[in-house]
A = this chain, B = another copy of it.
Amino acid sequence: MRRDFHRHPEIGFTEFRTASKVVERLTCLGYEVIYGQDAMDGKSRRGLPSDEVLESCFNRALKDGTNPEIIEKMRGGYTAVIGVLKGKADGPTVAFRFDMDALPVCESAEVDHIPNVEGFRSEYEGNMHACGHDGHTTIGLGLAEKLADQQFAGTVKFIFQPAEEGVRGAYSIVQKGMLDDVDYLFCQHLGTGVPLGEFHGGSTGFFASTKLSAHFRGVSSHAGASPEEGRNALLGAATALLNIHAIPRFSSGTTRINVGVLEGGTAANIIPDYAKMVIETRSISEEVNEELEKRVRDIVKHSAAMHELEFEIEMIGKAIPIRCDQSLVDLAIEEAKQVDGFTSFKPFRESGSIGSEDASFMIERVQKNGGQATYMVIGTDIPAPHHHPKFDIQEEVLPRSVELLNRIARRML
């Protein structure tokens, strides 16, 4: 199943095929399944792809045999799936969250890349499961199968989330109220630098992060006949790009800044009248991240004004830091110790290297309502870093993870 997902990687909000498979499987296992507009608040989605991309991916999924009735409900980028199952007795609601999306990375076709050698390299050229979410989804469905026996007291809730990359999808599920009845929330990630056999019951060091899209609008003119009549959007954008990268380091803590995309202009002999830029800031501190965002906005504003351009800035992604509840961290470690294959146990994964997570909004919502949550890390050796064309996971970690989450679920319920 993981290899099937790996071969069909779908980027954020286009997980039509993946989400349909999840819907089918959960339905088949007897879960109540909520999806499409019932599971997501449309306006709270951040960084939605263009209609054209959404449609093209929709059609690709159709062509690849996805159930038309199911994905019709997901049309337009509504690809979250929630599965709910009540146990034989009353009890708390325990939720597990899994992300399903892939990355716009072109997967390695080299002979030392296992998915290539073993024939499950991405068939959607240019997209790749380079962050292990194929594994996450697989674990989720494995867990759903185990819990289908309903031998527990309370309710189990599965949250299959789109668009974690770019920290764009979780917020719309939270805003739809899907987390409001959750007492305990368990999130997890494979890898992130943790070796096979090691397990972390919680995480710290997630970055606050903001993703912005900036649009520069000028005036086109013929570059030979009347260059002075143009207002050059690319000059403004290139100036912004260099200056955004030149925002200083902060002594108060780690920061990150990136301009991930810049696109503008139409033809060699036309002064470019439009450019678009995608920018990301991160900081270990929410406050510093706000300051970075402010500086980026200032730079965009004045780079535009300098060249008499108009500009517009859109928020396309946002995450906040995560605080894990100690009692869940301890409990998760206790259970992990009972699972074969885990040999090293740590309370908190500390490094900020994993970046940002929009599970942060889910965790915050559960905690605000008096519940508890944690974000666990399950080790796997990786041949290349996350988001790299040669990223891969060790598949033996999948059954082991299912077993761990199953134990946690039984313990909580």
**Chain A interface residues toward B at CB < 8 A:** 47, 103-105, 165-166, 207, 209, 211, 220-230, 232, 234-235, 237-239, 241-243, 245-246, 248-252, 254-272, 275, 278-280, 282, 291, 298-299, 301-303, 305-308, 316-317, 352-356, 385-389
Cα of A302 to Cα of B303 in the assembled complex, Å = 7
Compute how far the CA of A127 lies from the CA of B226 in the bound complex, rounded to whole angstroms: 20
- List, in ascending order, chain B residues with CB within 8 A of A221's CB: 385, 387-388
Q: Which among B228, B260, B275, B385 is the interface contact of A250 at CB below 8 angstroms?
A: B228
Instruction: Tell me if B353 and A226 are in contact (CB < 8 A).
Output: yes
- B260 close to A272 (CB less than 8 A): yes
CA distance A86 to B354 in the complex (A): 58
Residue pair A246, B248 in contact (C-beta under 8 Å):
no
Name the B residues within 8 Å of A237 (CB-CB).
Answer: 238, 262
Q: B269 contacts A260, CB within 8 Å? A: yes
Contact residues in B for A298 (Cβ distance below 8 Å): 305-306, 308
Inter-chain contact A235/B246, CB cutoff 8 Å: yes
**Least Cβ distance of A165 to chain B in Å?**
7
Residues of B within 8 A of A250 (CB): 227-228
Q: Which residues of B contact A166 (CB under 8 A)?
A: 267-269
- Is B278 in contact with A386, judged by CB distance below 8 angstroms? no
State whether A385 touches B222 (Cβ < 8 A).
yes
Can you sample 23 A-B contacts with CB below 8 Å? A104-B266, A105-B220, A105-B270, A220-B388, A221-B387, A222-B385, A223-B258, A224-B280, A224-B356, A225-B386, A234-B262, A235-B245, A237-B262, A238-B262, A239-B239, A242-B242, A258-B270, A260-B265, A260-B266, A263-B265, A269-B355, A302-B302, A302-B303
* A235: nearest chain-B partner, CB-CB: B246
Task: Give the docked Cα–Cα distance between A275 and B259 (Å).
Answer: 12
A228 touches B243 (CB 8 A): no
Q: How far is the CA of A255 from the CA of B262 in the complex (A)?
A: 26
Closest B residue to A213 using CB positions: B268
- Chain B residue contacts of A234, Cβ below 8 A: 241, 259, 262
User: Provided the pairs A243-B239, A250-B227, A355-B222 are in contact, do residues A265 and B266 lie with their beta carbons within 8 angstroms?
Assistant: no
> Closest approach, in angstroms, between the C-beta of A190 and any C-beta of chain B?
14
Q: CB-CB < 8 A to A105: which residues of B?
A: 220, 266, 270
Smallest beta-carbon distance A245→chain B, Å: 4
CA distance A250 to B228 in the complex (A): 5
A308 to B299, CA, bound (A): 10
**C-alpha gap A116/B354 in the complex (Å):** 50
Name the B residues within 8 Å of A226 (CB-CB). 251, 353, 385
Task: Looking at the assembled complex, report how far the CB atom of A149 sits from the nearest CB atom of chain B, in whole angstroms.
Answer: 39
B251 and A261: CB pair below 8 A?
no
Contact of A225 among B103, B272, B305, B385 (CB under 8 A): B385
* Cα–Cα, bound, A271→B257 (Å): 10
Cβ–Cβ < 8 Å partners of A306 in chain B: 243, 298-299, 301-303, 306
